[in-house]
Structure 1
Amino acid sequence: MTDYHDSTKIPDARVTRINCALAKFFVACSISFWIVEHPFFVNFVKELNSAYELPTREFLSDQLLERELALVNSTVATVIENGANLTLAFDGWTSPTHRSIWNFVIMTPTREKYLYKLVDLSENSHTANYVAQVVGKIIEKLDQIKYQRLYLITPQTSHQADAKLTQLIKENNICGGGIKLYCKMRWTTASDSVDSIIRLETVLEQIITNDSNLLNDKVKRVIQTRNFFSDLRILSFVLNPLRKAVLALKSKSATLGDCFLSLI
């Protein structure tokens, strides 16, 4: 019978799970809530199970969304309260309405990620001092989190090592700053990250020689590998043309010819 007819009654617990999954689907895929009342969407859901009654868009956007938000906030609060060796990461992007939105994400040692906060920073220039102030306020609110900076090859770099790196950069008159971060969503930053490590070769070797206690064993083994910096130079040779090609294609007036010229 069940092969030809849907159940006339869906348990309340299952309805709740379906509604929660539906709310997550609309939010995660950036779909307007009015779609839930579109006849084609209603027919599609009825074909799946005619006994399921779709929520209204008001119920979906208000009660369901607020309920899911409360559950997420509760989970994040638990992670902050009970977690150890947590990392605070942040990134920014421009919204379709040309607003500068920054997200602050808490990362656990097991690589789980929790969105902590979204901040609209459109009204201010993103100078180093201003960004430092914003991050400082976030850290103050997360006083139970052991904050650590993220680097390409040193995710467990201590504050002492960071301070030593900054000191040696100044003493060696190296321009361009410290190690650049790599962001998966902006893969052209891989080229900047590799170039920054090559630029700091002398400094990193000095730390290995004179202050190796500031680095963990994995980092020391990587840097001391005989061909480490040679391999990075080869990688940089490959990445730089690709980076230039990608940046050229992002231009409003870019053509495939621009990409071709960047790669030859």
Structure 2
Amino acid sequence: MDSTDLFDNQNIREVRRGRKESHVWDHYFKEPLGSGHYTARCHYCNQNWSRGKPEILKSHLALYCKDVPLYIKTEYMEMLAVGTTSTMNRKQKTDSDSSAELTADRKDKIDQALIRFFICCGIPFSTVGHPYFIDFVQSLCFAYGPPKRTTLSTTFLNHETAIILNKIKEELKYEKNLTLAVDGWCDPLGRSIYAFIIITPSANLQKDIIQTLTEEGGLKTSVKTRWSTAWTCCDSIIRLENNLKNVLETQTEIFINAIAIKNLLRNRQFFQDVEQLHTILAPAKKAIQAVEANSSNMASIFLQLIQMAVEIKKISNYFDPNFKKNCINIFNKRWAQFDTDTYLVAFFLHPRYRDKKFQDSTFRQMALTAMKIWSKFGSDKRSCKILLSQLRSYGDNEPPYDMEYTDEYDTPELWWSTCRQPNNYIQKLALKLFAITPHQAACEQAFSVLNWMIGKRRTRLDIDRLQSMAQMHSYYITNAKSELKFSSSDLSENKLETALQEITTAMINNDDIFIDDDDIVLDDESIDLNDDDANTNDLIMENIMNLDSFNEQNDDNSNSNISDQQPDESINYEDSNIDFEAIFDEESETD
């Protein structure tokens, strides 16, 4: 027997003495290190480990590998979710005062509560090994031995993330008409992170699925103008006009080094401009409030844009013609950033607003957009023609679209769900559009949490771990009422939500924990009012809406009796020169 045979026999004996090799190794290339250990390289993404551990390799396939086939990812995610953390090799305490050791199920529940506590409260993982933390935990339950830091931040974190993703998968299995909000953020190390927020039409479900890209450069945070805050500022200036003037007259020493402010306060035109701006920003403030409401939709946002345009159009040129011109230029610039065609379709399909004063060519523009959207759902030319006919009938208030719409009781979704007819394509289109949540507030909230998690003391968090932490934090804060085992029993859902929001906000803003306000770069957008393309005296919105005749009722309780409305004679609903071939050719080129 030569030396090779001896080596082979020794390996066989080692395998027989050891555990059965995990099937996870079927997805990895490996090289022996001795003592039954191996290096590992993923078959799908080529990521390497100097020493492969089955639990880490399973987590990679379930959560982090971007190239693994979906069926394999699903298999290992389910395997990871149903696993147990109590099998970890951790010493458990026993003493004469303990009536019994902890059961495996009890250990799992404590482990789960521990990782939730660390993630949702933003506690550094290193705390788990602090002697005073261990002393605190064992004063509550002496038989429980806290895990090591690496176990907490890998095995426990991955196990809980898999549980969450499986819950989300089950909850979304039978949902339809979902909104996918997408936004980007860049961490202090320049790594780009994208947040994908799935929102159901009822706004009862908001799950943050954080995906990552680590290309050089990354994305910069973009902070839009805070219209609501600007309105509040204008409102306070108007209310305090007399007080400011009194201070100017009685305490002149305050303004010795503030000549510009002194001149503004003495200029009556300044206060007139503030009053005009206050009036213009009121619809923007309402739009923000509408977005924050559960019932917000694209039509309600579009309505506030129209109201803002109406107020700008009313501004007089008598005192300062440049003020109105600048307002128009800013509005047009912002208008160009909207997907106005899609908003227009949603506005037209809202039964309360279809009789508003559209320009002659607006119906054709809206119908073309509606059919382009419809064609993306895999529809054929015949269904597009039927949809066009239904749009005309709807615009003319013909049955079954002549039902009353009452603001106090109806929603667009409820109204459309009762409009029944064969081949009801317009209903399907309307319900899809009204299911869209027209904002990315959830993305911004996710990035605030990420900023807090990866502050100055935790910049070494790798991107995969940060992804799991963000997923877990978002899920458990959103579903706190159902996930908390004890503390939520005495609180109403609203009180619990308020408490969590206050605590989260306090932690995010606490620069003694993780973050300094100076670390946040606000990349505010500026508008070049000297840009020739933006320099105009006309509102772009007037191309589709007759603002002079737009008189939307401001009474929130007003009713809209659709059956009594007559179609606007200026709208040509019979425009049939629609090139269906061009629509489908355009969509096929896009695909």
| TM-score (ref. length: structure 1) | 0.49
Q: For the pair shown, which has the larger CA radius of gyration, 1 or 2? A: 2
| TM-score (ref. length: structure 2) | 0.24
Pick 1 or 2: higher relative contact order, CA cutoff 8 A, min separation 6.
2
